[in-house]
Structure 1
Amino acid sequence: MSDTQEIHNYSFNPIINFKKSGHSFSYKIIKEKTYPNKSLLAYTLSPNKYRISDDYMCFINYIDNKPVFQIWFGKYFEHVVSSVRNATDVTNLFHKEYTSLKKTKTSGIYLFGLHLKTLEMAREGKRRAHILKPIDQCGNSTLTKRAMSIGKHILAEFNEKTQKLYNLEDVPALEIKALDEENIPRNSYRRLCAIEHNLPCEGEIFKERININEIMVQLILITIVNINTKSQVDESEGVDIDDESITQEVINAVGK
């Protein structure tokens, strides 16, 4: 059984707590960023060989195809130490500048969170997102998974924003409605019109429907026929057909 543990609800909550052998670290993830292409990707030293992401917020940036590790500190983050060697080297430089205890040491891997499996999976998901198939080439299962993923991200963003915009005693709820390609219900269309002002309102659609009906009446004459009513034939009325057999067939067909 592994002696390491990652406690989190990422990406709904940006906090990841990592525990190992009596030590614990707490990370607040701002952005996990992505891995460079395999030809440029750098790794930490053996035996773990963790992948090093690019454009990291704490901070790792690839310059001339090599990762440069930076730590910004100070009240206004006005100080910075950097190293092109590895994460631990820049961590030691940070302690020399910031910590009064000169012998203090911290693993650069743990400081930068390069070991976190949660972030590794998140970055892999971002990498795969760049090669996603177009919608018209996807099946229903793939489209459903994508819709669920979008919903989760929207919910995470909603939960984060509501903490800043609502009172703690409020219980805001996010309501998501699904629309298919059939006729849109009236209430759903009203909601769309409220956020998409370029859509015609309900009243305009009703007037246009009446106008179309009036045009169709003029173009296509419609006559109502009661098929249950039998036509009456006046036998005394003169006929244009001299053949009595044909006349009798007509009478039999329409009913006498």
Structure 2
Amino acid sequence: MRFSNPQASPLPLFLYTPSMDTTPTTQSVQVQHIRNATVKIKYADTTFLVDPMLARKDTYPGFEGTFRSHLRNPLIELPMPAEDVIEGVDAVIVSHTHLDHWDDAAQKLLPKGIPLFAQNEADAQIIRAQGFTDVRILGEDTVFEGVHLAKTGGQHGTDTMYSSPELAEILGKVMGIVFQALDSKTVYVAGDTVWDSEVDQTLAKFNPDVIILNTGDARVTGFSDSIIMGKDDTLHAYRAAPNATIIAVHMDAINHTVLSRKELREYVQQKNIQDRVLVPADGETLKF
């Protein structure tokens, strides 16, 4: 099993809390789902590219030791040229360095001097070794161009999976990201995590208006549980965050995802939660 590739200045603390009045919103938030977990977020006039996987269809072998590993990744093409994806991007955020979140194509296309945020020093060293010169560690309150970015926790699989040292090393550490700015809605990108106490803590602390969930229900061989969220987690989010819009992504593009967008859309209709759950097409842009 193999998920990986071979191979800010301190500013005054600012943090919204649920008790603060953030009702007036004057700046729109634009979320463009690209493909898989890749998302382009225009936030407070700053554009972030999160978890870029920009390769052409069938570029990489399937992930060893996972569901449908005989298929090549990505399973589908980008909805636009990769050059259009990176156009206008001010900074890149890599939640973790697994191939389906940070691939060779993205490494080749992105300018080596672009500001890039990683979850920890280990990932930062990997990315610097790939030639990037402005790699920063995302913290609990990192500020970039007036946008406050907060690293959040998560776990890329179940406790049982992480009890296996070999599998725990493969799954590795992951993070989510919260975006905040004055007069802007709070956006929470949960990342590659199952639903755990850290997700609950993030919802309680930040009370996000928009939640982006990786809901492809990805499976590894020998385990019946997923290493990320699935359809039931979408319903859980709907109930746990009654004022938030949920955007479900990370489906249809990678060999080990079990849940398709078609199936999730049907589930959303069955549960009558379509008023706040969105399952965007590749390339679709949502505004809040």
TM-score computed with the length of structure 2 as normaliser: 0.23
TM-score computed with the length of structure 1 as normaliser: 0.24
User: Whose helix proportion is higher, 1 or 2?
Assistant: 1
User: Whose strand proportion is higher, 1 or 2?
Assistant: 2
